[in-house]
Copies of this chain bind each other. A is one copy, B any other.
């Protein structure tokens, strides 16, 4: 690939990441991206159809990187994805924070989640059957993981990936069990 192309594209990616961390995705304009990347606006459009195409390309790139780094550390149990993913996230903190971060724009879910968080917090000061499809289980687990990941990253990824993995495994092993000792 032509050096100029490589330079331009990586500059654009870096600029998008940087701006997403401050203004959020929606608040970022193509003009700003080009200004930060020191690239002509015309040039932007010769590479990407629009802002979204740039983002999608970045995500695809992260996806490849993740899949590959995962391929190296194969573990064949459920939850095996946890540690590799956490490590990968820490290696690419900025990318992850920009793309998955709770900050700006990404999640309109934020406010509903906050309401819920209040409720759950309150209820945690006190507390079986089997009708589950695999689909629900997957969504449950992914949702839980993404939430924990986001939480971790937004606070600066202070804990080690290993600590977080352990925490996540504990939680997955039984949420209710974790909190019975507290009181009831």
Stretch at the interface among A28-36, A41-49, A173-181: A173-181
A108 to chain B: closest residue by CB = B106
Judge whether B108 and A109 touch: CB under 8 Å.
no
How many copies the complex holds: the figure is 2
Is A85 an interface residue, CB under 8 A from the partner?
yes
A135 to chain B: closest residue by CB = B151
**A139: B residues at CB distance < 8 A:** 117, 147-148, 150-151
Majority SS at the chain A contact face: helix
Is A73 an interface residue, CB under 8 A from the partner?
no
Contact of A145 among B62, B130, B143 (CB under 8 A): B143
Distance of A51 Cα from B30 Cα, bound (Å)? 21
A73-103: contact bitstring with B at CB < 8 Å (1 yes, 0 no)?
A: 0001111110001000000000000011000
Number of interface residues of A (CB under 8 A): 78
A76 to chain B, nearest CB (A): 5
**Contact A146 to B78, CB < 8 A, known contacts A131-B167, A132-B167, A167-B132:** no
Distance of A175 Cα from B171 Cα, bound (Å)? 9
A3-40: contact bitstring with B at CB < 8 Å (1 yes, 0 no)?
A: 00000000000000000000001100000000000000
Judge whether A146 and B106 touch: CB under 8 Å.
no
